[in-house]
């Protein structure tokens, strides 16, 4: 296999995000429709297939691997996959194995995740108000997530809080959320809502440019740009008053495409070279039709050769339809 994956614009692909399920125990209003139709089990890659797929990417140069969903920890026997993938940490071929979670299952799984070599997790959390949390997630219980965060920190996991900035919902709460996170030794990242998939609300009403949010924060806090990176798209500042880090993910106001080192694989084995484009490659077929990995490796190489320079996200009153039809839970958050 080739030692590395280089796209047409000279970017080395070293970061893989893999959705292990499209299912979730929440129904966040900006992410899913309330009446979601999930994929049949036969369409999903098995845990063994996911392990094989990830291992091929690692052999081809991936150094960071993130498990996503839906909610990855609701996948049956998910810890078997985490245990299997941890061998790549042990032999030095992988720098980091991590996951993005809504936190609902962390109380149960945090100690085992730490035992497998997971050192940090991202927890998606948009409010610290229990009633608002129930409203935004439709089904979630804030106290359960808080117990999960407690358990993760007790197990030695570093946590980064991911918060989608939503106008009229949590824009006034974000400063206090940042203070709460930094007081607990957690980084926080705010994210612009992305136009992916048909949902039950109008995203143009929700959309809050982070340039506007940053300007508000700077009336109260001293924010200094820093070169800190975690491998993802966030640009970080240090907050002088707290000593903590705050990240901004701005796919609409200031996209991060020029340094994109990421690709995403869905739970069905579809490879998306760009979060904001529909072009994709089928990896399930070569995975299932060959015992060896040569066909799979060739399919990956061909797909990487088509990775675009950037996405075409737009959100405004004239463009009400989502930029891409698939939901974020399908792609892998």
Q: Is 116 annotated as a binding residue?
A: no
Q: Is 28 annotated as a binding residue?
A: yes
Coil, strand or helix at 110 = helix
Question: For strand 15-19 and strand 262-265, is the pairing parallel, antiparallel, or unpaired?
Answer: parallel
Q: Is 17 annotated as a binding residue?
A: yes
The residue among 35, 70, 78 whose CA lies nearest residue 330 is 70
Q: Is 194 annotated as a binding residue?
A: yes
Q: Is 1 annotated as a binding residue?
A: no
Q: Is 124 annotated as a binding residue?
A: yes
Encode burial over 140-176: b for 16+ CB neighbours within 10 A, e otherwise.
bebeebbbbbebbbebebebbbbbbbbeebbeebbee
Q: Is 274 annotated as a binding residue?
A: yes
Q: Which two tokens stand for residue 179?
A: 């203070």
Coil, strand or helix at 189 = strand
Q: What does the longest C-alpha to C-alpha distance in the chain come to?
A: 59
Cβ atoms of 265 and 53 closer than 8 Å: yes
Q: Is 119 annotated as a binding residue?
A: no
Q: Is 160 annotated as a binding residue?
A: yes
Strands across the sheet with 15-19, in order? 223-226, 235-239, 245-249, 187-192, 158-165, 120-124, 96-101, 64-68, 15-19, 262-265, 270-272, 280-282
Q: Is 100 annotated as a binding residue?
A: yes
Question: For strand 235-239 and strand 245-249, is the pairing parallel, antiparallel, or unpaired?
Answer: antiparallel
End-to-end CA distance of the chain: 28
CA-based torsion, 314, 25, 332, 38: positive or negative: negative
Q: DSSP letter at 201?
A: S
Q: How far apart are CA 175 and CA 191, in angstroms?
A: 14
Question: For strand 187-192 and strand 245-249, is the pairing parallel, antiparallel, or unpaired?
Answer: parallel
Cβ atoms of 51 and 109 closer than 8 Å: no
Q: Is 138 annotated as a binding residue?
A: no
Cβ atoms of 190 and 163 closer than 8 Å: yes
Residues annotated in a binding site: 17, 24, 28, 30-31, 66, 70, 100, 124, 160, 194, 257, 260, 262-264, 274
Annotated binding site for GTP: 17, 66, 100, 160, 262-264
Positions at the binding site for S-adenosyl-L-methionine: 30, 70, 124, 194
Annotated binding site for [4Fe-4S] cluster: 24, 28, 31, 257, 260, 274
């Amino acid at each position: 296999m080739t030692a590395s994956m280089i796209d047409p614009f000279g970017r080395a692909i070293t970061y893989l995000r893999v959705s292990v399920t499209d299912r979730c125990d929440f129904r966040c209003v900006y992410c899913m429709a309330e009446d979601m139709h999930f994929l049949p089990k036969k369409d999903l890659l098995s845990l063994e297939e996911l392990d094989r797929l990830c291992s091929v990417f690692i052999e081809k140069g991936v150094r960071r691997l993130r498990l996503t969903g839906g909610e990855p920890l609701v996948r049956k026997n998910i810890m078997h996959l985490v245990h299997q993938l941890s061998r790549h940490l042990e032999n030095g071929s992988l720098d980091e194995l991590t996951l993005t979670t809504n936190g609902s299952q962390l109380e149960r799984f945090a100690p085992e995740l730490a035992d497998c070599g997971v050192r940090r997790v991202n927890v998606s959390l948009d409010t610290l108000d229990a009633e608002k949390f129930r409203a935004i997630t439709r089904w979630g219980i804030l106290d359960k997530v808080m117990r999960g965060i407690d358990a993760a920190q007790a197990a030695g996991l570093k946590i980064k809080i991911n918060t989608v900035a939503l106008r009229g919902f949590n824009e006034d709460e974000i400063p206090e959320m940042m203070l709460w996170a930094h007081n607990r030794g957690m980084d926080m990242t705010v994210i612009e809502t992305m136009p992916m998939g048909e949902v039950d609300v109008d995203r143009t009403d929700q959309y809050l440019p982070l340039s506007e949010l940053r300007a508000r924060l700077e009336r109260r806090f001293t924010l200094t740009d820093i070169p800190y990176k975690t491998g993802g798209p966030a640009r970080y500042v240090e907050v002088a008053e707290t000593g903590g880090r705050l990240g901004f993910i701005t796919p609409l106001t200031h996209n991060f495409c020029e340094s994109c080192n990421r690709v995403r694989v869905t739970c069905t084995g579809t490879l998306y070279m760009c979060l904001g484009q529909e072009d994709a490659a089928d990896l399930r077929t070569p995975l299932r039709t060959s015992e060896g990995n040569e066909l799979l490796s060739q399919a990956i190489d061909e797909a990487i050769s088509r990775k675009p320079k950037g996405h075409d996200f737009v959100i405004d009153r004239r463009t009400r339809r989502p930029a891409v039809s698939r939901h974020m839970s399908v792609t892998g958050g």
